Structure 1
Amino acid sequence: MLSEHEIAIRVRYPECDPGGFLHHSRVFIYFEMGRTELLRASGGNYRRWEESGLYAVVVHAECRYLKPARYDDLLRLRTIVRRVTGVKIEHEYLLYREEELLCRGRVVLALVDAEGRIQPIPEEMQTVHVEPRRADRAK
């Protein structure tokens, strides 16, 4: 399982407020895109989890907005697995325009069954090698 993955995202017109700035709520959609593609690049996918009766739910989400993005900006989202426990997965997100950090976020996921009961994280997710924070990720 990969511990880090990057995707490119172009800010689309309907994602912006009337002033042409990326609406703050869209960043969490970008975060979901990032973790979905990290899982896919690792050979997994959410559809298989759901077919087996597991559902990923967000138990915590936060974002620190540093600078705005605008319509048609080309962004780069780095998704990093920061911590995996028996029942939770923590991701960090760094959203850049070129080398300029626009925002950083964190989302904690848990897996539940169809009745909403917490389920253990699958073995393939627990084997991720989590890298220590590098200097460019410091606050």
Structure 2
Amino acid sequence: MLTSHEIEIRVRYQETDGQGRVHHANYLTWFELGRVELLRAMGHSYRELETAGVMLVVAEMSVQYFLPAFFDDVLSLRTTAIKAKGARIEHEYKVHRGSDLLAQATSTIACIDRTGRVSRLPKWLAGNSMEEGSIADS
């Protein structure tokens, strides 16, 4: 089961604030990108999920910032699905510049249907093998 995926991020100028550091809110965008790319690495996409009526929304997010990132830094973001059960997926994120840990975070993602009601995760996403089953399996 693929539960972790790493991507590279180069800090863009518009992601920095008046002090030349990455604005803290940009990390949330990067974490979403990490989740999207983890799902893609598993052979699926958010578009497929949404077409099947499966919506994933952020229910909780906690971030710790340790060191700043700056314009043109090349960062690595590792996104790990640490638990998937019922209607929730928990992720962990770690942002590094080389060997320096800049930030780490956790999130709880809730599964809802098109009407906004809580819905169970598809079996392939909550089960032991994320490669088995289709998006529409529930």
Q: TM-score, normalised by structure 2?
A: 0.90
Deviations 1:9-68 (A, max 9, x none): 000000110221000000000000001000000001110111111111110001000010
DSSP 3-state at the match of 2:27: helix
Q: Which residue matches 1:39?
A: 39
Matches of 1:83 and 1:111, distance apart in 2: 13
Q: Which residue matches 2:7?
A: 7
Matches of 1:48 and 1:30, distance apart in 2: 21
Deviations 1:99-118 (A, max 9, x none): 10000001110111121101
Question: Any unmatched runs of 5+ in structure 2?
Answer: 130-138
Give 1:128 shift.
4.6
Q: Which residue matches 1:109?
A: 109
Question: Any unmatched runs of 5+ in structure 1?
Answer: 130-139
CA RMSD of aligned residues (A): 1.1
DSSP 3-state at the match of 2:14: helix
Matches of 1:61 and 1:122, distance apart in 2: 22
Q: How does 1:54-133 map to 2 (within 5 A)?
A: 54-128=54-128
DSSP 3-state at the match of 1:26: helix
